[in-house]
């Protein structure tokens, strides 16, 4: 197998469509289908499952995909080293991040990074912190940006500490909040614990009823429309319309409650020029001084 085969596997994982991958690689669909068959013949077991919803990987295919990603990156790192041009970094970068970070920071980060390194293919995954950690461990992604008190026993960089706010469509009092739903979104359990603890500090053990939504942006939009209250980090405040009631939350000692944002990856990944370039760029973006 060669670098074109590695690209086929990586693009097929993203697109799940032979036709789309063929267009990206300027190949005909029959030639790409033939190449997939040759891969299975060379390995000796099925690698792909073809359905009316696209092409999916078998367990063996997923293992080959992980190998392909490493092989392609090593090849690109070798080219970068030989040319000795630090601005000529290329390869594949697979990033996972929580949605609030994607909404508030990722557009600016990617714009600046791509302007500096335009030879890198970037794949961005949106998920909650717990699932992003699992994806890092499985090497489905190379870097993850998570938020909350999660333990990670490998390389990590603290990017920022986001204050936590309660936002509401009506003035924030115990009586007023009890009359409307708490808009809870898909996040790690520690953020929901902040809401519960806030109620307990105000003498309420059983918070009022909950409205569950999929993500933080949807929660903010529902409150913008005039329903409910929620707890969000400061970076999502820019999505709130003027006129919403807001309250910065503090612990019992009067210290502001915050959510720590971290970039994590496996130390073994740091040898990649592409990954090192992104880490250096995001450190500059957040003015982080810690060494790689």
Report yes or no: 45 and 60 within 8 Å, Cβ to Cβ.
yes
Residue 78, strand partner residues? none
Cα–Cα distance measured from residue 145 to residue 98, given in angstroms and rounded to the nearest whole number = 7
Record the tokens describing residue 215, joined without a space. 């993500």
Structural domains for the chain = 1-79 (1.10.10.10), 86-153+267-284 (3.40.190.10), 160-257 (3.40.190.290)
In the prediction, which pLDDT does 80 show? Answer: 63
In the prediction, which pLDDT does 165 show? Answer: 95
In the prediction, which pLDDT does 138 show? Answer: 84
Write out pLDDT tens, residues 38-92.
999 999 999 999 988 889 999 999 889 888 888 877 777 776 666 655 556 777 8
**Interior CA angle at 28 toward 23 and 34, to 5°?**
120
Please report the DSSP string for the chain in residue order.
--HHHHHHHHHHHHH--HHHHHHHTT--HHHHHHHHHHHHHHHSS--EEEETTEEEE-HHHHHHHHHHHHHHHHHHHHHHHHHT-TT--EEEEEEEE-HHHHHHTHHHHHHHHHHH-TEEEEEEEE--HHHHHHHHHTTS-SEEEEESS---SSEEEEEEEEEEEEEESS---HHHHTTS-EEEES--HHHHHHHHHHHHHTT-SS---EEEESSHHHHHHHHHTT--EEEEEGGGGGGSPTT-EEEE-B-TTSPBPEEEEEEEE-GGGGG-HHHHHHHHHHHHHHT-----
User: Of 157-161, 196-200, 277-281, which range is least confident?
Assistant: 196-200
Cα atoms in the Cβ-side hemisphere of radius 13 Å centred on 236: 26
- pLDDT confidence bin for 157, thresholds 50/70/90: very high
User: Of 102-106, 138-142, 177-181, 200-204, which range is least confident?
Assistant: 200-204
Cα–Cα distance measured from residue 228 to residue 219, given in angstroms and rounded to the nearest whole number = 9
In the prediction, which pLDDT does 86 show? Answer: 52
Residue 166, strand partner residues? 231, 247
Write out pLDDT tens, residues 244-288.
999 999 988 889 999 999 999 999 888 888 899 999 999 999 999
Cα–Cα distance measured from residue 153 to residue 162, given in angstroms and rounded to the nearest whole number = 22
Average pLDDT rounded to a whole number, residues 120-145: 90
In the prediction, which pLDDT does 83 show? Answer: 60
In the prediction, which pLDDT does 268 show? Answer: 84
Q: Is the pTM of this model over 0.85?
A: no
- Residue 156: is its pLDDT beyond 90? yes
- Residue 154: is its pLDDT beyond 90? yes
- Residue 14: is its pLDDT beyond 80? yes
In the prediction, which pLDDT does 87 show? Answer: 55
């Amino acid at each position: 197998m060669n670098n074109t085969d590695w690209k086929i596997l990586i693009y097929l994982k993203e697109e799940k469509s032979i036709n789309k991958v063929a267009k990206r690689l300027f190949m005909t669909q029959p030639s790409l289908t033939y190449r997939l068959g040759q891969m299975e013949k060379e390995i000796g077991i099925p690698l792909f499952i073809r359905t009316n919803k696209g092409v999916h990987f078998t367990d063996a295919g997923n293992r080959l995909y992980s190998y392909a990603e490493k092989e392609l990156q090593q090849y690109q790192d070798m080219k970068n080293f030989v040319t000795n041009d630090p601005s000529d970094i290329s390869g594949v970068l697979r990033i996972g991040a929580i949605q609030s970070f994607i909404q508030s920071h990722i557009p600016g980060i990617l714009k600046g990074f791509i302007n500096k390194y335009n030879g890198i293919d970037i794949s961005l995954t949106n998920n909650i912190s717990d699932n992003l950690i699992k994806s890092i461990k499985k090497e489905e992604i190379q870097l993850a940006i998570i938020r909350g008190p999660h333990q990670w026993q490998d390389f990590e960089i603290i990017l920022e500490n986001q204050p936590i706010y309660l936002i509401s469509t009506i003035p924030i009092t115990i009586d007023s909040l009890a009359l409307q739903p708490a808009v809870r979104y898909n996040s790690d359990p520690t953020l929901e614990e902040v809401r519960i603890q806030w109620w307990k500090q105000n003498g309420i053990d059983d918070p009022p009823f909950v409205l569950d939504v999929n993500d933080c942006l949807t929660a903010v939009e529902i409150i913008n429309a005039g329903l409910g209250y929620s707890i969000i980090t400061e970076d999502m405040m820019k999505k709130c319309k003027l006129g919403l009631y807001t309250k910065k939350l503090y612990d019992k000692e009067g210290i502001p409650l915050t959510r720590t944002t971290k970039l994590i990856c496996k130390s073994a990944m740091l040898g990649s020029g592409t990954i090192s370039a992104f880490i250096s760029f995001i450190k500059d973006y957040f003015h982080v001084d810690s060494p790689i």
